[in-house]
Structure 1
Amino acid sequence: MTRTATALTLSLTIILHAPLALAKTPVATGSGGAVATISEQASQSAMSILNKGGNAIDAAVAAAATLGVTDPFSCGIGGGGFMVIYLAKDKRVITIDHRETAPAAVTPAAFLENGKEIDFEKAVASGAAVGVPGTVRGWHEALERYGTMHFKQVLAPAIDVANKGFKVSGIFSQLTRENERKFQQFATTSALYLRDGKAVKPGTLLRNPDMAKAYREIAARGQRAFYEGPMARAIVDAVQRPPVAAGSSVRGGSMMLADLANYEARIRQPVVSTYRGYELYGMPLPSSGGVTVAEALNILEGYDLKAMPRANAEHLYLEASRLAFADRNAYLADPEYVDAPVAGLLSKQFAAQRRSQIDTKRAAMEVAAGDPYAFQQDPSIPLRPQARPQRALGKESAHTTHFTVSDKDGNVVSYTFTIESWGGSGIVVPGYGFLLNNEMTDFDFSGPRPNVPEAGKRPRSSMAPTIVLRNGKPAFTIGSPGGSTIITTVLQTIVNHVDFGMPMDAAINAPRLSQRNGALTSVEPGFAGSGQSKALEGFGHGWETPPEEIGAANAIVFNPDGTVTAVSEGRRHGVGSALVQKRAH
């Protein structure tokens, strides 16, 4: 069934000659609260909540809601995510898993036709790609348990931005242009983000009154406004019968109202590891980020990286990442469906065994998974399953957002959330102005694998929001978007900062290398042919083409003198936005 554009309400007001965008500052040092995001409006929203007495959790929801307006192609209430929170009063870290789940009618054959995997791009742009969104439930849990404000207060800045509009940046216009074909398939999306079938131009003021309406309903009724009632019905209708443009046809999905009503976020214990005197708190399964970063750092801890020539140290970083990814791909998935050997993977003894397989002078091409079961202390997982054949790393979207917030009392939030691909499934929910995710395509399309689709299951993620303590106090936070390159971005930034002694802004701005157990390593534009690349080529490393920008990290550093430094990207994704409550003079 189709629904044509004539039956839709135009959700977009476009006004030319928009006001100039606020100037972004990617690094800021001072006292009180701090925030680092890729969006000036989102950073301002967080800061406004902090200035009104809200804590870091309140400010994080305000920033996230605003990012859903200004960066709707990477995040929003149509998706899900992972939040890591340091509670200063209790001196403990908790995590909120609000990853999307597979609808109850989903089976492992969801993306198979006649026994063969369907085309990936066709799978993305469909109702079948949409997982049950978890973001609003995650925000609810964060505010109810750890915040001081309610939805009405923290959503107000985002409602204002959605109503008044924001100036379309060059990156926003470019991302729209790259997704024109996907967006053209859906009448609601075309009406919102295209003009005569083409991307809106930089400098345009883009308003989204329908998203403001969605936020107002959540502000008035709380998370129930999203998971029950008219908005829930609109979501389910859009998934089952996507609002396609005339002449388009896409697969519908199986989501039901009960899937939304039954959605639950999970409060989970963080992955805890140590590295050179630091305590790292990361996201547990179903995100593979925390475990994989920790394993790679455990491997690297056996080397004195700072005493080595840089090329030797970077070679070891790439090889440690290769080994950790081999183990990630073999074992990690939703812990409610798979008994993953997490304790074994986090074992320092297992890391030593894996380290012994590294040739310090030569790059491996691809490596097999290790055997963490010999180091597994959990008696509930006593046996190693039958070895699985190695398979190429599946596609995983690089399009997500990460930001971080702290407050004057020392509470800290490191938060990564997403709608998966740029623009998610491409489906804008009629009347509510937000894009639905395509998170179901984060599952492996065929098995046997731990990460195949199953009813109620959460697809494996690479998101790695991280909070690092030293001597029991926050030292820094780090996280990034980038699909599976999230793990390597977080890992490399930690190595840059801790081992190489780089200030956090330099650690973030350094060229990124991402080795994920492939014959070639992902690099950024301008790296190939550099002195750094030639030195690593001497170890046998080679580079993927074409090169692409990797990640868009945000961090906060808690300085020894009691000040804080918020750090965002200095050049990637159009430069980030770092703010502190009181600037240092």
Structure 2
Amino acid sequence: MKLFASPLLLCALAFTPTVWADSPAAVTTPVATALAAKPEGAVIASAHHLATEAGHEILAAGGNAFDAAVAVSSVLSVVEPISSGLGGGGFFLLHDAASGKQTLVDARETAPASGVPTAYLDKDGNLDRDRSVNGPWAAGIPGLPAALVHLSRNYGKLPLARSLAPAIRIARDGFPVYGRMARGYASRAEVMERYPGTREVFLRNGRAIAEGDNFIQPELAGTLERLASDGFDGFYKGRTGRLLLAGVKDAGGVWTAADLAGYTVVEREPVRFGYRDWQITTAAPPSSGGIALASMLQILEGWDLQALSPAQRTHLVVEAMRRAYRDRTFFLGDPDFVQIPQRTLTSHDYAQGLRATIHPDKATPSDSLSGNPTPLEDEETTHFSIIDADGNRVGGTQTVNLLYGSGLVPKGTGVLLNNEMDDFALKPGTPNAFGVMGYEANAPAPGKRMLSSMTPTFMDNGHEVVVIGTPGGSRIITMVLLGILGYDAGLDAQAVAALPRYHHQWYPDVIEAEAGTFDAATVSALQAMGHALKLPGDEAAGGRGSSHVWGNLQTVHWDRASNTLSAGSDPRNPVGSGQVVKAGEPVSPP
């Protein structure tokens, strides 16, 4: 087997700023003599307009970006059960403008004491896929409620109850079911209707939710009220804690009071690195996103992408993706349980060594990068981006993993539990639901956090500030990568949110793409280089399939030279919203 070339073998290559040759004209901003110290107002982009409006409501009430993050996150937990919720977890990247402090709030779910590898194997020693993605054994201990308490207590200005008020109101009064929510339920109905608590929430007189229904969740409102009143104990102990334990037990699973009470949020140092003129600040392990971004971008800065054809540029980006996802498979996991060679994996020298293994006109077969050992997330997840009038920033990405998570709602809680246990390497070398593999570094253990692809990210080049992130399972990292390249090419926030997307994750050895991403000439050129492509409707190309559209990218941008704010909300999602509110302007009614 071929191994990576030593990074010491290659000198740094010259590079120039990138503008995509076939992209719209670059948007340039004249350099002002003085850069604004604070924004002109506040901007929020999220996957649902009710969440965006709730964030601005809290800002208007005297809160800061961190209070607004509690409001946006909790409202998304009410209106996007398909993607996230109190029964899941997430990562929150924070920038405090007054102190300059940047931190990553890790609210990733943890494995319960019962979550050992043998619990997920059938009698023949094969992975029991139903158990790993459906029902109580699929669920890790939720982290999102603890994160909301942590953000409010340590960074916010308002009481937690005030920031949760919009979510409580919407859960009690309801909101219109949208098409994506109804379609997602239809695809998961068989699993969700196994459980009495889930049926109580999602069925109306025996009929499944339909687009246009008013979706009310009184039990979830009660759970949020206990969280607002009692903080951490209001979810992980007391009435809610007892209901969660009983619901998991009744469905055949095993959680303990110690599993719930022992959950802790962890603050971690973000991954930081430079790319051209940008300082990138992004998610650290147990997210794999930051390390993978550092690797891919530092590989790519060795080329003048502007001068290349679309096929040549795509080839190089794919080769960078291939190498980063290979390293993800073998080296990354929960840093509290495994040693991660982070300094090496994020170094320029290592990236130069990886770059040396890329042939400029020929695809690298993934099995030639296997090393040792040899190997045998689109609408899921949600993201929001915030910049407030003081310059505080939040990038939040949260999830329940697959559509509607595990499908299990413990009776009396309204809380849909995640199925994040599938993100562990439950059986080494066996792909999970997103087709990615793992080994010992990401094996489950009690209290351990499973590896994630969530990648909330900041970009800052001195006169521009960006917050960006997206859902998308294993495609999250590559969508954020393409967004960063778009901003570097001079695109505005909305153009970045609308960019066409493609992806490669080492295995399966295939390029996936949205409909319309590549023209026929580019497809032919990539195939001539040795790449296999999986395009919408092309069932012969192999791989795990490719949908027509991916992700739900939400991004905000502050141009400090002109002191203007802008938002980009993914046009693939009709209920998303990016909203700028200038100082003194009224807020849209909630």
Asked whether the two chains share a fold, i.e. TM above 0.5, the reply is: yes
CA distance in 2, matches of 1:88, 1:196: 51
What's 2:568 paired with?
567
CA distance in 1, matches of 2:583, 2:575: 20
Write out aligned runs for 1:403-418 (5 A): 403-418=384-399
1:532 offset after TM fit, Å? 4.3
Distance 1:531 1:121, change over 3 A: farther
What's 1:203 paired with?
212
Kept in 2, the 8 Å contact 1:467–1:474? The answer is: no
1:527 offset after TM fit, Å? 4.1
Moved more, 300-309 or 416-425: 300-309
Distance 1:238 1:346, change over 3 A: same
Kept in 1, the 8 Å contact 2:495–2:568? The answer is: no
1:388 offset after TM fit, Å? 1.3
What's 1:524 paired with?
514
Q: Which residue identity is paired with 1:222?
A: G
Q: Secondary structure at the match of 1:36?
A: strand
CA distance in 2, matches of 1:368, 1:193: 48
Q: Which residue identity is paired with 1:520?
A: V
Distance 1:368 1:284, change over 3 A: farther
1:135 offset after TM fit, Å? 0.7
Counterpart pick for 1:179 among 188, 199, 221: 188
What's 1:33 paired with?
42
Kept in 2, the 8 Å contact 1:311–1:536? The answer is: yes
1:404 offset after TM fit, Å? 0.8
CA distance in 2, matches of 1:584, 1:116: 63
What's 1:48 paired with?
57
Write out aligned runs for 1:317-336 (5 A): 317-336=317-336
**Residue 453, structure 1, aligned to residue 455, structure 2:** no
CA distance in 2, matches of 1:340, 1:264: 21
What's 2:156 paired with?
147
**Residue 489, structure 1, aligned to residue 479, structure 2:** yes
Q: Secondary structure at the match of 1:179?
A: helix
**Residue 388, structure 1, aligned to residue 370, structure 2:** no
Distance 1:542 1:505, change over 3 A: farther
CA distance in 2, matches of 1:316, 1:501: 20
Counterpart pick for 1:215 among 206, 218, 224: 224
CA displacement, residues 305-326 of structure 1 (integer Å, 9 cap, x when unaligned): 1222232112111110111110
Counterpart pick for 2:71 among 48, 54, 62: 62
Counterpart pick for 1:444 among 390, 400, 425: 425
CA displacement, residues 177-205 of structure 1 (integer Å, 9 cap, x when unaligned): 11111111112212211346553221111
Q: Secondary structure at the match of 1:116?
A: coil
1:290 offset after TM fit, Å? 0.7
CA distance in 2, matches of 1:178, 1:347: 43
CA distance in 2, matches of 1:343, 1:138: 28
Q: Which residue identity is paired with 2:235?
A: F
Compute the RMSD of aligned alpha carbons: 2.0
Distance 1:525 1:198, change over 3 A: farther
Identity of aligned residues (%): 35
Write out aligned runs for 1:114-129 (5 A): 114=123, 116-129=125-138
What's 2:460 paired with?
469
Kept in 1, the 8 Å contact 2:88–2:143? The answer is: yes
* Matched residue count: 525
CA distance in 1, matches of 2:228, 2:299: 47
Write out aligned runs for 1:106-505 (5 A): 106-114=115-123, 116-195=125-204, 198-242=207-251, 252-367=252-367, 387-391=372-376, 399-447=380-428, 449-471=440-462, 475-498=465-488, 500-505=489-494
1:119 offset after TM fit, Å? 3.0
1:550 offset after TM fit, Å? 1.7
CA distance in 2, matches of 1:288, 1:350: 17
Unaligned residue ranges in structure 2 (runs of 5+): 1-38, 429-438, 540-544, 586-590
What's 1:514 paired with?
503
Kept in 1, the 8 Å contact 2:405–2:417? The answer is: yes
CA displacement, residues 137-165 of structure 1 (integer Å, 9 cap, x when unaligned): 11111111111112210011111111111
What's 1:249 paired with?
none
Distance 1:161 1:325, change over 3 A: same
Distance 1:369 1:451, change over 3 A: farther
Kept in 2, the 8 Å contact 1:397–1:420? The answer is: no
Q: Which residue identity is paired with 1:413?
A: V
1:31 offset after TM fit, Å? 3.1
1:529 offset after TM fit, Å? 5.7
**Residue 539, structure 1, aligned to residue 548, structure 2:** no
What's 2:114 paired with?
105
TM-score (norm 2): 0.85
CA distance in 1, matches of 2:405, 2:555: 25
1:432 offset after TM fit, Å? 1.8
Q: Which residue identity is paired with 2:500?
A: P
Distance 1:421 1:226, change over 3 A: same
CA distance in 1, matches of 2:290, 2:256: 32
What's 1:78 paired with?
87
Q: Secondary structure at the match of 1:109?
A: helix
Q: Which residue identity is paired with 1:389?
A: T
1:390 offset after TM fit, Å? 2.4
1:573 offset after TM fit, Å? 2.6
1:117 offset after TM fit, Å? 2.7
1:296 offset after TM fit, Å? 0.5
Moved more, 139-148 or 407-416: 139-148
Distance 1:325 1:333, change over 3 A: same
1:534 offset after TM fit, Å? 3.9
Kept in 1, the 8 Å contact 2:93–2:105? The answer is: yes
CA displacement, residues 372-421 of structure 1 (integer Å, 9 cap, x when unaligned): xxxxxxxxxxxxxxx31124xxxx58610011111100000000011111
What's 1:579 paired with?
579
Distance 1:34 1:141, change over 3 A: same
CA distance in 2, matches of 1:131, 1:47: 32
CA distance in 1, matches of 2:78, 2:566: 26
CA distance in 1, matches of 2:155, 2:53: 21
1:116 offset after TM fit, Å? 1.6
CA distance in 2, matches of 1:406, 1:110: 44
Q: Secondary structure at the match of 1:413?
A: strand
TM-score (norm 1): 0.86
Q: Which residue identity is paired with 1:160?
A: R
CA distance in 1, matches of 2:194, 2:255: 20
Distance 1:397 1:235, change over 3 A: farther
Moved more, 193-202 or 81-90: 193-202
